[in-house]
Amino acid sequence: MVARSTLVVVNWVVVAVFAVVYFGMILGRLPRLALDRTGIALLGAIALVATGVVTPDQAAGAVDVATMSLLFGLMVVSAQLRLGGFYSEVTRRLATVEASPAVLLGLVVATAGILSAVLANDIVCLAMTPLLVAGCLRRGLDPVPHLLGLACAANVGSAATLIGNPQNMLIGQKLGLSFVDYLGDALPPAVLGCLVVWLVVAAAYRGRWSCAPREIETEIPRFDRWQSAKGIVVVLGLVAIFLFAPVPREAAALAAAGLLLASRRMRSRDVLGFVDWHLLVLFVGLFVVQYALESSGLVAVLLDDLARLGIDLSSPEWLMPVTVVLSNVVSNVPAVMLLLPVASGPEAGTVLALASTLAGNLLLVGSIANLIVVDQAARLGVVIGWRQHARVGVPVTLLTLGIAAVWLRL
């Protein structure tokens, strides 16, 4: 009787912590507290350990070290390219191309899509936005359509590989997906999706490309040819290893990070300063919360109840729409962590990765990449509202998800 009452108390603690954490994921904060999503996830993990629901050893074991290692290693590689001025140089050259606005938009979409497939899409948006704004304004072009193209293409392009964004890395590591097999499934929808982004944005802004030309000041990292070349060689080497060598992805990524950190000119403090520690802490907190929920047995009970109602989340027909909705409610990384335990079908990993990533374009708050573009643009006096984004984001999302669904069905 005592054991049963203890179990009930433990389950109530788990449910309460889970509810508070995911309520915070929805709002992005907790009322009256200066906590963001990372702080909320960390606080949830602390509460579970402090109440004894999860022991410190269990909390440590709940963290997927392979996923964290892959994420960290690729962040270091991306930091190398950012410090070397690679992103800035690419954007500067892009913004000075003598071409029509529609062609320039196409180049922005293609560049963002390609870079986001092999590098973190958030970093691509963070590095490209200021220079794209400055280049467009200098030419008398409205930056908004090009920024919307950048954000949408970064999301779509990142869906092409298992290293394009954090949720894909998590799915690939937890489910043991093959890099080559996933690329074969996801690359065609991603390529067609980037074409959709260009067509939708170009149609939405046809005849409305211009604005008053003006100069704005932006901080441009100095382009270092050697450091950028070193980063590019490492990226190409990593992709080759992922494609052809039977080496664990996390081991290859850590080796690449170690190689770049052992530099005679670039200080490790500077490189590590560009690692997204907040995202890593968010993962740690959510891993612990998810472990507690699964260990309680509540997930299994919920799945049984859903099955009785005819809802089978292991089926792509149910998993895709649920992923899309949940990704726009709590954001895609928390949504993926919540749905991973039910991703058991042969296509579940691919469906989960594509749906959670492509869903990021639906609403302005659906993707961190969107928020980065909007925030960076606002600092330079360019405002993008949720209506402007939705005018492009909704059709892009519906069309790209439709393409992905048809392709996977075929």
Residue 360 is given by DSSP the state G
- Picking from 193, 238, 223, 141, the residue whose alpha carbon sits closest to that of residue 354 is 193
pLDDT at 9: 57
Measured distance CA(265)–CA(80) in Å, rounded: 12
- Picking from 18, 407, 348, 101, the residue whose alpha carbon sits closest to that of residue 339 is 348
What is the CA angle 145-167-356, rounded to 5? 60
DSSP labels, 1-59 = -HHHHHHHHHHHHHHHHHHHHHHHHHHSSBTTB---HHHHHHHHHHHHHHTTSS-HHHH
pLDDT for 53 beyond 70: yes
pLDDT (tens digit, 9 = 90+) per residue, 169-192?
A: 999 999 999 999 999 999 999 999
SS3 of 94, please? helix
pLDDT (tens digit, 9 = 90+) per residue, 111-127?
A: 999 999 998 888 889 88
Question: Cβ distance 67 to 174 under 8 Å?
Answer: yes
Measured distance CA(389)–CA(393) in Å, rounded: 6
Longest distance between any two alpha carbons in the chain, whole Å: 78
Taking residues 94-98, what's their average pLDDT? 86
* Boundaries of every domain in the chain: 2-409
Q: Which amino acid is at 141?
A: L
pLDDT at 410: 76
What is the CA angle 351-357-363, rounded to 5? 125
Measured distance CA(391)–CA(128) in Å, rounded: 22
Confidence of residue 199 (pLDDT cuts 50, 70, 90): very high
pTM (2 decimals)? 0.87
pLDDT at 403: 96
Q: How many residues does the chain have?
A: 410
pLDDT (tens digit, 9 = 90+) per residue, 229-287?
A: 999 999 999 999 999 999 999 999 999 999 999 988 888 999 999 888 988 998 899 99
pLDDT for 303 beyond 80: no
Taking residues 11-25, what's their average pLDDT? 87
Taking residues 76-80, what's their average pLDDT? 92
Confidence of residue 316 (pLDDT cuts 50, 70, 90): confident
pLDDT (tens digit, 9 = 90+) per residue, 373-402?
A: 998 899 888 999 889 999 999 999 999 999
pLDDT for 6 beyond 70: no
